[in-house]
Amino acid sequence: MIKACIFDLDGVIVDTAKYHFIAWRQLANQLGFDFTKEYNEKLKGISRMDSLNLVLSWGGVQKSEEEKIALATEKNEVYRSYILQMDKREILPGVLPFLEDLRARGIKMAIGSASKNAPTIITQLDLAEYFPVIIDGSKVSRSKPDPEVFLKAASELEVKPKESIVFEDAEAGIEAAISGGFYPVGVGDPKILGEASVVIAGFEGLKLEELSERLLAAVK
């Protein structure tokens, strides 16, 4: 029986990838190389410092740890300048009705995100009432595909992984959900998220009862 749903944030509840892309590209250009949308896709679900290390490696740039911290902070300030302008209009289609359906059924909900900006984004979107538990990059020491972020969310919700669905749009997130013992639902491209038990295009028209049936059929 499903008792909880744990959601990644970026690309699941809201599309902030476009703002990450702008901020990373600005930083890369400043360092003398370009940053593509393909690179941006590879950073999904990865922590800020791990992302920076990848970006620097793609550009063939070496920096000291002190310089890396300064660069990560600079990138985050650009990113935050965009997310602080967000509002409810940027919630992805179908998300709000699905959250309402879950709440009506008494399903517990949490955010499990690598982003340290998760609380800010949830506040900007006016969704705090749905997510009493937010586990973000400031509360975990290991990035996805390690399941720590989801295991902490389940612990705070007082549910077991086998009673919980994880919604993810990144390969690393699906891997984390599987290794943690959760029901993994991919949101996006089946070619990328094929390891998930079920892959959905989005939340429009989605009902928990229907999704549970699909999950049950997939794991038999």
> Which tens digit of pLDDT belongs to each residue from 84-94?
999 999 999 99
Same domain for 194 and 100: yes
Q: Which residue has the tokens 């809201």?
A: 14
Count of structural domains within the chain: 2
In angstroms, the CA 77 to CA 83 distance is 10
pLDDT at position 190 over 80: yes
pLDDT at position 4 over 90: yes
Which of 61, 83, 105 is the last residue in one of the domains?
83
Same domain for 76 and 118: no
Same domain for 180 and 76: no
Q: What is the pLDDT of residue 115?
A: 87
Same domain for 159 and 59: no
In angstroms, the CA 114 to CA 45 distance is 6
In angstroms, the CA 25 to CA 33 distance is 9
In angstroms, the CA 40 to CA 32 distance is 17
Same domain for 99 and 52: no
**Ordered alpha helix ranges (H), 16-131:** 17-30, 37-42, 48-59, 65-83, 95-104, 118-124
Same domain for 101 and 55: no
* pLDDT tens profile 89-124: 999 999 999 999 999 999 999 999 988 899 999 999
* pLDDT tens profile 8-28: 999 999 998 899 999 999 999
In angstroms, the CA 65 to CA 93 distance is 40
Q: What is the pLDDT of residue 17?
A: 86
Mean pLDDT of 165-178: 95
Mean pLDDT of 181-189: 96
Cross-strand pairs, 5: 109, 165
Helix-strand-coil split of the chain, %, nearest 5: 50, 15, 40
- 148-157 and 171-180 helices cross at what angle (nearest 10)? 50
> Is the Cβ–Cβ distance between 79 and 19 less than 8 Å?
yes
Mean pLDDT of 35-62: 92
Of 174, 113, 169, which is closest to residue 139 (Cα–Cα)? 113
CATH code for the domain in which residue 97 is found: 3.40.50.1000
Which of 40, 63, 83 is the last residue in one of the domains?
83
187: which 2 tokens? Answer: 């949101």
Same domain for 180 and 96: yes
> Is the Cβ–Cβ distance between 185 and 168 less than 8 Å?
yes
CATH code for the domain in which residue 34 is found: 1.10.150.240
Confidence band of 44 (pLDDT split at 50, 70, 90): confident
Which of 66, 83, 100 is the last residue in one of the domains?
83
Same domain for 65 and 104: no
Same domain for 196 and 120: yes
Q: What is the pLDDT of residue 186?
A: 97
Q: What is the pLDDT of residue 47?
A: 83
* pLDDT tens profile 122-135: 999 999 999 999 99
Write down the pTM of the prediction.
Answer: 0.88
**Residues with catalytic function:** 8, 10
Same domain for 215 and 124: yes
Same domain for 190 and 100: yes
179: which 2 tokens? Answer: 């290794």
Same domain for 69 and 117: no
Range of the domain at 28: 17-83
- What Rg value do the Cα atoms of the chain yield, rounded? 17
